[in-house]
Every structure is written in C-alpha cells, then in structure tokens.
Amino acid sequence: MAAVFTCCLACCGDGGAGHAPLKEMPTVHLDTHHMGTDVVIVKSGRRICGTGACLANAPLHQNKSYFEFKIQSTGVWGIGVATQKVNLNQVPLGRDSHSLVLRHDGSIYHNNEEKNRLPANSLPQEGDIVGVTYDHVEMNLYLNGKNMHCPASGIRGTVFPIVYVDDSAIIDAQFSDFYHTPPEGFEKILFEQQIF
C-alpha cells in the first residue's frame, strides 16, 4: 500500500519531475482596475451598482463576440463596447468616439450621435436580458433572445464590453453560461491566448 501511495504522490501529488502544472484559463468579468471612482463591483465581478462605468477585463479580439447583461434594477444605465480611453466617471456614455452604447431609453449612441434606437415597445425592463453581438464592424442587440434589428457602428480600435449605471440601476454581466443561445457564429469572449 505504501508503494502505491508513494507512486501516486510522485506522479500527481507534488507535480513530480517532468510534470507541468495545469494553467487555469482566465475568466471574463468586470474589471475593478478599469471602473469609475463611484462604481461598486460585487458577485465575483459580475454585478455593477453605484455611479459610473466599468470595462470588462478582456478585449474583443475574436471575429464574433457575444455577451449579455441582466437588468436587475432599473434606473439610468447603458451597455455596449468602448475603448480604454473612455471616461469611466462620465455618464451617460456615447458622448465621444470612445464608446458605442445602448442607453436605458432605447437609444444607441456613439460620438454624441444617435446611431439607432430600439423599437418603442421593446425597451428593456427589470428582469430582462440584453444580448450584445460585436463583429469588429457593428454591434447588434437582442432582448430576451430576440434580435432587435438595430445595428450600430462607428467605434474604432480595440474595444471591451462596457456597462454604466446611475440612479439606483443594478446590472449583472454574463460573459459565459448565457441565458439565451448566442446567434449563429457568435460565441463567448475569448482571451487572446484562447483564440490561437
């Protein structure tokens, strides 16, 4: 019995000679190093509250990315994509060239210009899931799994998922284990080393 235990310890327990430890793959979450000063991030980097914006910790390098946000509590909020140059303390976003966002009123803004708008009867409410696709050209939105057919484009450079809140809004970010199946060809955000 001692020989079996020694063999198991040598082969598995301490990493034995010639064995490389498995490297855990990073997970995508809201990045506490890239958030506004009055933002609070809880639930292991999945929930935002307070006032301001927060970027995710992974850029959208792959061709077709998908992620979701759940409206836990209404208020002033926005979701979309942004570069790291965006001002995380200034809400609403979409006022400059560094963000492209859906605002709580259904408008989609980039560079202080309304790029598109959700249908009037499709404004996200408390409990709704807003899906976002991005393919390096345009952002598309899905409400509870249904395509809203309101594409928007114009942002340039390396972008990250972004969310902002104000006026008691609470939003949960979902970067995997989605509520709804991503549209065909789109998948969860991959870190660059996962793509190659």
pLDDT value at position 25? 74
pLDDT value at position 7? 44
Per residue in 119-176, pLDDT (tens digit) is 989 999 999 999 999 999 999 999 999 999 999 999 999 999 999 999 999 999 999 9
Per residue in 45-59, pLDDT (tens digit) is 999 999 999 999 999
Per residue in 90-132, pLDDT (tens digit) is 999 999 999 999 999 999 999 999 999 999 899 999 999 999 9
The position carrying tokens 């000679």 is 17
pLDDT value at position 89? 98
Q: Where are the domains of the chain?
A: 30-174
pTM score of the predicted model: 0.87
Give yes or no for a contact between 159 and 67, defined as CB atoms under 8 angstroms apart.
no
Query: What is the distance between the alpha carbons of residues 99 and 154, in angstroms, rounded to a whole number?
Result: 9
CA distance to 106, 112, 152, per residue, from 138 (Å): 17, 17, 5
Overall average pLDDT of the 7-35 stretch: 68
CATH superfamily of 30-174: SPRY domain (2.60.120.920)
pLDDT value at position 149? 97
Per residue in 23-46, pLDDT (tens digit) is 677 899 999 999 999 999 999 999
Query: What is the distance between the alpha carbons of residues 149 and 117, in angstroms, rounded to a whole number?
Result: 10
- Radius of gyration over every alpha carbon of the chain, rounded to an integer in angstroms: 20
Overall average pLDDT of the 67-71 stretch: 98
The position carrying tokens 């020989």 is 3
Cβ neighbours of 68 (radius 10 Å): 23
